[in-house]
Amino acid sequence: MKSFTQFLIETGSKAVEQARKLGLKSDGHGGWLDRSGEFVAKTEGDKLKFYNKGQRPGKDPDQTPGRKAHLPVNAKKMARSPEAIEAKRRRDDDLAGAPLQKKPEEKGEKGEGETLTTAFGRFNPPTVGHEKLLGAARKAAAGGQLKIYPSRSADPKKNPLDPDMKISYMKKMFPDYEEEIINDAEMKSIFDVLKTADKDGFKNVNIIVGADRQAEFENLAQKYNGDLYNFDLIRVISAGVRDSDAEGVEGMSASKMRKAVQDDDFDSFRRGTPKGLKDADTQAVFDAVRTGMGTKKKKVKESYELWEIAPSLDRKGLRENYVKGLIYKIGDIVENLNTGLIGEIIRRGTNHLICVTKENYMFKSWVKDVMEAVNPSGVPSDQRLIGTDAYKKYAETMVPGQSKPAWGRQFINKYKKKKS
């Protein structure tokens, strides 16, 4: 005698064909089991009727509207039962008129919960040591957004490469980070970077720095969170300890590179660049730094002392000039080489300066980490034409006692008034 299943197969039942495509197995009594042995359907006429998970025909209640039928994984592409179709229609009717859910914003737009990983530095000139910092930044980003902002500082002693040239060489030295190295003239300081990140909708930020600068960035970034910008979390992450006395990557610095140029020592300079950089390109960087420093081939400009171009390599010379009061006097305008902040000196410590920006934000800098701010007048060089009002403004700032920026005095007077 033929079984019920055999009878259906022989009659070419559509229900059997559907069951086969779904990978279901007959229980021999008109029911169908999935691969886990769960009863999921029953043959009714020439169609399959599906049931909720664990439901048994005749013993458990039928499906209720709004409750999904339990289907095998590969059943999603198959036609639904009339009951399932009716349930979906009712759910759709219930949702009609309900407010649409806001579509999550794409990565890179203003979106909640996003974290930006960034690094801000001089890179003047770029060195093999900076490649280590970029690697640490990418690791911290963990697939998220990463932006590297080279500073906009430029002067013959400590920043011989102008921003455009510096960034061009960086992209050639570190091709794996070409997309992440950003040339943005508005990013002049770490404050600019953080304010922009906040404006772009980032909720958290990672700042990657050298170990010797971690405390400085930590204090500064946290101090003005909630004032200049608002983040749920700010993390300042060390890219590793740098030993100035070590050989190779661990001891490489831009200061050593500038000294090599001053000494006309191309071999030492070459050791500070990535191995993948061609000799011709390395020579081009070497020549560009030399030109920026105002030196000629095989002739060092003797007016530059070592402490002027590489203070970390001649701290004794730097300190002697500082203690004698020859540099960084009260009222001078200086730029922090690490953060890009520019401010007026309002206090001189034994080895540090207290400065205030024109926006009245105070910051502390080690003496070795500052330089005289270039063009403190605020008048661009192309607007200093003789006979113009702009030139008059510029000339006044160059005369002692005339229209000198009074950021520090304003800050101190404001503080005294508030205290009284």
- At residue 374, the pLDDT reads 72
Most confident of the ranges 93-107, 118-132, 396-410? 118-132
What digits encode the pLDDT tens for the residues 71-90? 444 444 344 455 555 555 55
Whole-number Å distance between alpha carbons of 368 and 185 = 25
Strands 31-33 and 39-44, by their bridges, are antiparallel
- At residue 41, the pLDDT reads 81
Whole-number Å distance between alpha carbons of 190 and 249 = 25
DSSP per position, 268-290: HHHHTS-TTS-HHHHHHHHHHHH
Contact at 8 Å (CB) between 286 and 165?
A: no
181 DSSP assignment: B
Strand partners, 205: 116, 234
Residue whose token pair is 């403190």: 376
Whole-number Å distance between alpha carbons of 99 and 84 = 25
What digits encode the pLDDT tens for the residues 87-103? 555 555 544 444 433 33
Query: What distance, in Å, lies between the first and last C-alpha atoms of the chain?
Result: 108
- At residue 355, the pLDDT reads 96
Whole-number Å distance between alpha carbons of 98 and 58 = 37
Residue % of the chain over a pLDDT of 90: 51
Greatest CA separation for the chain = 117
What digits encode the pLDDT tens for the residues 233-244? 999 999 988 656
3-state SS of 20-79 is HHCCCEECCCCEEECCCCCEEEEEECCEEEECCCCCCCCCCCCCCCCCCCCCCHHHCCCC
Q: Which CATH superfamily is domain 115-292 in?
A: HUPs (3.40.50.620)
Which amino acid appears at position 164 of this protein?
D
What digits encode the pLDDT tens for the residues 313-327? 899 999 999 999 999
The residue-averaged pLDDT of 326-347 equals: 95
- At residue 376, the pLDDT reads 42
Provide the pLDDT confidence category of residue 69 given band limits of 50, 70 and 90: very low
CA nearest to 160, candidates 302, 274, 255? 255
What lies within 8 Å, CB to CB, of 36 at 6+ separation is: none
Contact at 8 Å (CB) between 205 and 196?
A: no
The total number of residues written for the chain in this structure: 420
- At residue 341, the pLDDT reads 96
- At residue 65, the pLDDT reads 41
Domain ranges of the chain: 4-95, 115-292, 314-420
- At residue 399, the pLDDT reads 46
What's the pTM? 0.64
State yes or no: pLDDT of 215 exceeds 80. yes
- At residue 162, the pLDDT reads 94
Whole-number Å distance between alpha carbons of 184 and 149 = 8
229 DSSP assignment: B
What Rg, from alpha-carbon coordinates, does the chain have?
Answer: 35
120: exposed, middle or buried (Cβ count in 10 Å: 0-12, 13-18, 19+): buried
Provide the pLDDT confidence category of residue 247 given band limits of 50, 70 and 90: low
Whole-number Å distance between alpha carbons of 413 and 133 = 41
Token readout for 26 is 């007959």
What lies within 8 Å, CB to CB, of 404 at 6+ separation is: 331, 397
- At residue 28, the pLDDT reads 77
State yes or no: pLDDT of 136 exceeds 90. yes
Q: What average pLDDT does the structure give for the chain?
A: 78
What lies within 8 Å, CB to CB, of 40 at 6+ separation is: 24, 32, 33, 34, 50, 51, 53, 70, 71, 72
What digits encode the pLDDT tens for the residues 374-401? 754 444 444 444 455 554 554 454 444 4
